[in-house]
């Protein structure tokens, strides 16, 4: 990537597909961002750029590259696929550009790399990395399996769609109250309707919400 293209990219600011990190000081956190990109729509991580869009570059880029290669191998399971580009600045410092594609697998950030367990899935939402809820995780698994989903349109589903006709979104908790069912049943219903293509989940740090899937 040439310098002009890099500057144009940085001017966009962090968003759904772009993340800035000044250094590889916290490689586990950068791995979490890579996991989130892989589990969502893919994205680019720029190492050597701060949150204020200042392109400072890395004085010893080989060290950061080594640290991140090791982190991506140890903290992400399964390992993250990525492509690495480098851009040299006027001051001879470098920017590391990690291209992380959307993955056909679900990736997890491991709490204990040695044991390869207790992993957590993350997704990218706007410019944030968000831990996948139970519902989002099940939806991710269902989409990866690419199975045809069948669902029945009973009274609860009718009330749900009537509610969404008048409101922009609904949460599991709200759906539970709306039709007086237990949270597990409400969760399962929303998951099935999402996998069936009727709804769309919008992950959130506090509580996910579901909307009617826009017509493409």
Q: What are the DSSP calls for 15-41, one per residue? A: BTTEEEES-SSSHHHHHHHHHHHHHTT
What is the pLDDT tens value at each position of the chain, 216 positions in all? 899 999 999 999 999 999 999 999 999 999 999 999 999 999 999 999 999 999 999 999 999 999 999 999 999 999 999 999 999 998 999 999 999 999 999 999 998 777 666 689 999 999 999 999 999 999 998 887 766 677 778 899 999 999 999 999 999 999 999 999 999 999 999 999 999 889 999 999 899 999 998 876
CA gyration radius, the chain:
20
Residues 85 and 178 in one domain: no
Here the CATH number for the domain that contains residue 182 is 1.10.10.10
Domain span at residue 151 reads 135-212
Per the structure, the count of domains in the chain is 2
Residues 145 and 112 in one domain: no
Residues 123 and 141 in one domain: no
**Single residue among 86, 113, 131 that ends a domain in this structure:** 131
Residues 31 and 77 in one domain: yes
Question: What pTM, to 2 d.p., does this model score?
Answer: 0.88
Contact 32, 129 (CB under 8 A): yes
pLDDT at 117: 67
Residues 112 and 7 in one domain: yes
pLDDT at 112: 75
pLDDT at 216: 66
pLDDT at 149: 75
Contact 49, 20 (CB under 8 A): yes
Residues 151 and 127 in one domain: no
Q: Nearest-CA neighbor of 100 among 34, 36, 144?
A: 34
Residues 140 and 96 in one domain: no
Residues 125 and 191 in one domain: no
pLDDT at 116: 66
Please count the other Cβ atoms lying within 10 Å of the Cβ belonging to residue 93: 16
């Amino acid at each position: 990537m040439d310098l002009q293209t890099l500057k144009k990219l940085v001017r966009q600011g962090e968003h759904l597909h772009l993340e800035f990190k000044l250094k590889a000081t916290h490689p586990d956190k950068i791995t979490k961002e890579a996991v989130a990109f892989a589990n969502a729509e893919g994205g680019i991580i720029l190492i050597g750029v701060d949150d204020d869009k200042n392109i400072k570059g890395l004085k010893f880029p080989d060290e950061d590259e080594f640290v991140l290669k090791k982190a991506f191998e140890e903290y992400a399971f399964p390992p993250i696929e990525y492509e690495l580009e480098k851009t040299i600045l006027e001051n001879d410092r470098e920017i590391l550009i990690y291209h992380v594609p959307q993955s056909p697998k679900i990736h997890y950030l491991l709490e204990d790399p040695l044991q390869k367990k207790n992993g957590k899935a993350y997704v990218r939402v706007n410019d944030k990395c968000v831990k996948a809820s139970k519902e989002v995780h099940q939806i991710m698994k269902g989409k990866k399996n690419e199975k045809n989903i069948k669902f029945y349109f009973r009274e609860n589903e009718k009330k749900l769609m009537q509610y969404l006709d008048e409101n922009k979104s609904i949460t599991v908790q709200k759906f539970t109250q709306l039709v007086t069912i237990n949270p597990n049943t409400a969760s399962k219903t929303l998951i099935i309707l999402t996998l069936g293509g009727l709804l769309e989940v919008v992950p959130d740090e506090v509580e996910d919400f579901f909307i009617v899937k826009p017509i493409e």
